[in-house]
Chain A
Amino acid sequence: SQELEQSPQSLIVQEGKNLTINCTSSKTLYGLYWYKQKYGEGLIFLMMLQKGGEEKSHEKITAKLDEKKQQSSLHITASQPSHAGIYLCGADIIGNQFYFGTGTSLTVIP
């Protein structure tokens, strides 16, 4: 079973459109991390969320951790081709174990 489920698995959007990627856990998340996979460089850290209701933004990317701390969403506003890639969530879950999500592949069509 997968501790962290991401949806959708893949996403194709037109440049300029907004999009949302979700990361859901069946257990309480003690820390939620978003990464972007960059070819040749591995995972690039985007943002970290720890408190329920916390929201962080960087450029056109916003991530939020819900109040119950069991789901996080990553929202991209006015998507650009540079946003294309694979987005992965990672989380501290009970038992001091770190898990990774299933990944979301984003394609942005110019």
Chain B
Amino acid sequence: DTAVSQTPKYLVTQMGNDKSIKCEQNLGHDTMYWYKQDSKKFLKIMFSYNNKELIINETVPNRFSPKSPDKAHLNLHINSLELGDSAVYFCASSPHSSGRQETQYFGPGTRLLVL
């Protein structure tokens, strides 16, 4: 019974391609997140999204776009992949985003390698 799942687990692709990473949560949470983890294991938030608001980290290139077909899914679409996009991408969810701190539940991560 996976709470937060991501597909694919591994993704190897050529520079310039467009790819998507899918995230699904079955926890009934209202808010979902995408993080990028670099080689030093630092986590950088890219987006947080609930049905009311999309918050974008201004340092994220506009080649990255979140797409949410419904409350349980937040997919990450990346256009024109670059070498520097290689990283592990984590999806997370939390019950809601109301200003209160809520524990985030993380997916297993997607390792993206751009050649």
Q: Which residues of A contact B (CB under 8 A)?
A: 31, 33, 35, 37, 39-43, 45, 48, 84-86, 88, 90, 92, 97-98, 100, 102-103, 105
**B103 contacts A42, C-beta separation under 8 Å:** no
Chain A residues, Cβ within 8 Å of B48: 40, 42
23 contacts between A and B (CB under 8 A): A31-B41, A35-B43, A39-B97, A39-B99, A40-B55, A42-B33, A42-B35, A42-B48, A43-B35, A43-B43, A43-B45, A45-B42, A45-B43, A85-B101, A88-B103, A88-B104, A90-B43, A92-B41, A97-B108, A97-B109, A102-B103, A103-B104, A105-B103
The DSSP consensus for interface residues of chain A is: strand
Those of B18-39 within 8 Å (CB) of chain A: 33, 35, 37
Q: In the bound complex, what is the Cα–Cα distance between A40 and B102 (angstroms)? A: 11
B49 at interface by CB-CB < 8 Å: no
B interface residues, tally (CB under 8 Å):
21
Assuming the contacts A42-B35, A100-B106, asked whether A90 and B101 have C-beta atoms less than 8 A apart, the reply is no
Chain B residue at smallest Cβ distance from A104: B103
Chain B residues, Cβ within 8 Å of A40: 48, 55
Q: In the bound complex, what is the Cα–Cα distance between A88 and B92 (angstroms)? A: 13
Chain B residue at smallest Cβ distance from A107: B101
B44 at interface by CB-CB < 8 Å: yes
Assuming the contacts A42-B33, A43-B35, asked whether A37 and B104 have C-beta atoms less than 8 A apart, the reply is yes
Assuming the contacts A40-B55, A43-B35, A97-B108, asked whether A86 and B43 have C-beta atoms less than 8 A apart, the reply is no
**B101 contacts A105, C-beta separation under 8 Å:** yes
